[in-house]
Structure 1
Amino acid sequence: MENRLRPIYQERASHPNTLGIVIVEKKLNTFPVTDNFDAILLVIVKESTPSLSIKHYDYENSKASLYTVAEAQLKEWLFMGSNRKVIEWILNGKAIFDRNEYINNLKDELKEFPQHQRKIKMGIEFGKLIRRYQDGKAFFEIGHYLDAYNNVIHALHHLARLAVIESGLHPEVIVWPQVRQIDPSIYKLYEELVESEETLGKRLELLFLASEFLIHTRAKQGGQHLLEVLGNKDDSWTFGEILGHPDLSYYQVDLELMLEFLVEKHLIEIEKVPTKGKDIFHRNYIVK
């Protein structure tokens, strides 16, 4: 297959802007990380406008997809975990062009999974977990069980990915076989939710009781990066200061929920600052 696709990528390999090229072939009886294409060609370049372009090709009753991605876009995907298939392409694909061992070094970096990146990814998953869990609980309490179920399924996926990241690994596209090995208690929750013969309402009720402990025990790890950033300042923070801090931009819309959750768990304290209004205070935050 590589030889048949050579005319597509050969010219790109000779261009000085190209850092590396990876080929990923579709495998039988496995989840199609190639999006059902027979082959994926991933061309990583220093700069590109737009930052991503995709072309499709037919050859010998087969089909291939060519991704040309700028290095900055690729690094964002890898750092944020927003395109997990690309992680699998790099880790498991074959480097057919590798300028100055760029692909090889990228693989090493992904396998090492530096602690700083791990903390941020845990924070991102933790924020999404809290949002989905609280939304699911709110729907459950007003009797909207199907909406509650949808949110809880997503919450369990975030909890699963959080457990995988804690163990020092990147979550795979198929995350549950990973979790079954790493944290069977989370897998058991998921299994009971989707396979139990209890009514949906009863399944949800039992899951909320059981998952509360699992989420509580991960509060410190999930919020570690946020707590460390806030702990760098001796006095308290306004929410505007927290929201505008560049190191906390990863959490976006989930930041308020994360903050309030950590306040509830007594990991962050509230400092009331008087305003001009009688009995009205600014709500500031501090890590003691």
Structure 2
Amino acid sequence: MEDLLRPIYQERASNPSTLGIILIERKKPNSPITDNFDVVLLIIVRSLETDWQEKHYELYNGKTAVMHTITEDLLRRWIDTSGYRKAVEWIIAGKTIFDRNEYISRLKEQLRSFPHEKRDLRKAMEFGKLIKSYTDVKDLYISEQYKDAYTRMIHSLHYLARLAIIEKGYYPEVTLWNQVKKIDPEVYKLYDELIRSNEEIAKRVELMILAADFAISRKAKVSAKHLLDIMETKNGAWSYEEIKQNANVQPYELDLNAMLNYLTEKGILAAVRIDTKGEGVYERKYRVNRP
């Protein structure tokens, strides 16, 4: 397969802008990692007319291939924000067929080490999604929309699982639950109990709300570390707008409201009331609740 594609990737390798080329082959009949193509070529470049270009190929032997050409900046965003989870697996598991100045080797090592500062950002992002999803579960359950509540609970447990994996220093894979089973059996057990239980859906969701609430509270402070560290950079309280305008919060700004409310409810943040011109109306600001 590699021989058939060599004329295509060699042309790219000769371009000074190309930093590395990785090849990923399909290992099984149904292959989400390769989108069911027989081979994926990932070409990382310094610059490109557009951040991401994709070309599909058919080979004379009936095989199919896809070539993704992406900029280094886009790849970094994907890695840092889980923008395209397959890319991380491509880099870790793929075969390096071109490596300018050991760019791919260093990238693979960075992914294996998963630096703490990148870990904290990813945890905050997953935590925000988790809180928003879990809030939806409770609202749907109270409204007696049990099937929808069940579906949202599945999503919530996915976010909880990703948190558990990131906390242990790994990047979440596409085959998430297989990974969680090895890394965090307790989170896997929650998922297993939800989908395998013989109880009615309403009862399953009710029991899982209680179990998930405990699991989320236990992880809250560690998961929100990225946000709490930002808020610790000044002594006074922060308005919502001040937090939102901080560039470091941008990756999870859409979930910021849910995070602030949850952290305040759990006593991790303190709500500070500031007088306004309206009698009995206060602006709410936030500060980290120090022990």
TM-score range, shorter chain: over 0.9
For 1:33, what is the secondary structure of its paired residue?
helix
The whole-number CA distance in structure 1 between the counterparts of 2:214 and 2:166 is 19
Q: Tell me the residue number matched to 2:233.
A: 232
The whole-number CA distance in structure 2 between the counterparts of 1:75 and 1:67 is 15
Q: Tell me the residue number matched to 1:163.
A: 164
The whole-number CA distance in structure 1 between the counterparts of 2:28 and 2:284 is 57
Q: Tell me the residue number matched to 2:266.
A: 265
Which amino acid counterpart does residue 3 of structure 1 have in structure 2? D
Which amino acid counterpart does residue 21 of structure 2 have in structure 1? I
Cα gap change, 1:268/1:8 in structure 2, threshold over 3 Å: closer, same or farther? Answer: same
Q: Tell me the residue number matched to 1:9.
A: 9
1:5-54 CA-partner distances (Å, limit 9, x unpaired)? 00111111000010100000000267431010000000000011210010
The whole-number CA distance in structure 2 between the counterparts of 1:146 and 1:22 is 42
Cα distance, 1:183 vs structure 2 = 1.8
Q: Tell me the residue number matched to 2:179.
A: 178
| 1:38–1:62 Cα contact (<8 Å) kept | yes
Work out whether 1:69 is the aligned partner of 2:75: no
1:188-236 CA-partner distances (Å, limit 9, x unpaired)? 1111111111100011111111111100100101111100100111111
| 1:26–1:32 Cα contact (<8 Å) kept | no
For 1:218, what is the secondary structure of its paired residue?
helix
For 1:269, what is the secondary structure of its paired residue?
strand
The whole-number CA distance in structure 2 between the counterparts of 1:253 and 1:13 is 40
Which deviates further from its counterpart, 10-19 or 24-33? 24-33
Q: 1:120-159 to 2 correspondence within 5 Å? A: 120-159=121-160
The whole-number CA distance in structure 1 between the counterparts of 2:76 and 2:234 is 29
Which deviates further from its counterpart, 25-34 or 216-225? 25-34
Q: Tell me the residue number matched to 1:206.
A: 207
Counting aligned pairs with the same residue, the percent is 45
The whole-number CA distance in structure 2 between the counterparts of 1:94 and 1:261 is 43
Which amino acid counterpart does residue 103 of structure 1 have in structure 2? I
The whole-number CA distance in structure 2 between the counterparts of 1:198 and 1:276 is 54
The whole-number CA distance in structure 2 between the counterparts of 1:29 and 1:107 is 27
Structure 1's unaligned 5+ residue stretches are none
The whole-number CA distance in structure 2 between the counterparts of 1:204 and 1:281 is 37
| 1:47–1:71 Cα contact (<8 Å) kept | yes
The whole-number CA distance in structure 1 between the counterparts of 2:42 and 2:29 is 22
| 1:42–1:67 Cα contact (<8 Å) kept | yes
Structure 2's unaligned 5+ residue stretches are none
Q: Tell me the residue number matched to 2:99.
A: 98
Which amino acid counterpart does residue 109 of structure 1 have in structure 2? Q
The whole-number CA distance in structure 1 between the counterparts of 2:68 and 2:184 is 35
The whole-number CA distance in structure 2 between the counterparts of 1:121 and 1:31 is 26
TM-score normalised by the chain length of structure 2: 0.97
Q: Tell me the residue number matched to 1:45.
A: 45
Q: Tell me the residue number matched to 1:34.
A: 34
For 2:97, what is the secondary structure of its paired residue?
strand
Which amino acid counterpart does residue 267 of structure 1 have in structure 2? I
Number of aligned positions between the proteins: 288
1:227-284 CA-partner distances (Å, limit 9, x unpaired)? 0100111111111100000111111210110011110111111111111111111101
| 1:57–1:63 Cα contact (<8 Å) kept | yes
Which amino acid counterpart does residue 19 of structure 2 have in structure 1? L
The whole-number CA distance in structure 1 between the counterparts of 2:169 and 2:49 is 34
Which amino acid counterpart does residue 48 of structure 2 have in structure 1? S
| 1:58–1:64 Cα contact (<8 Å) kept | yes
The whole-number CA distance in structure 2 between the counterparts of 1:195 and 1:206 is 13
Which amino acid counterpart does residue 220 of structure 2 have in structure 1? A
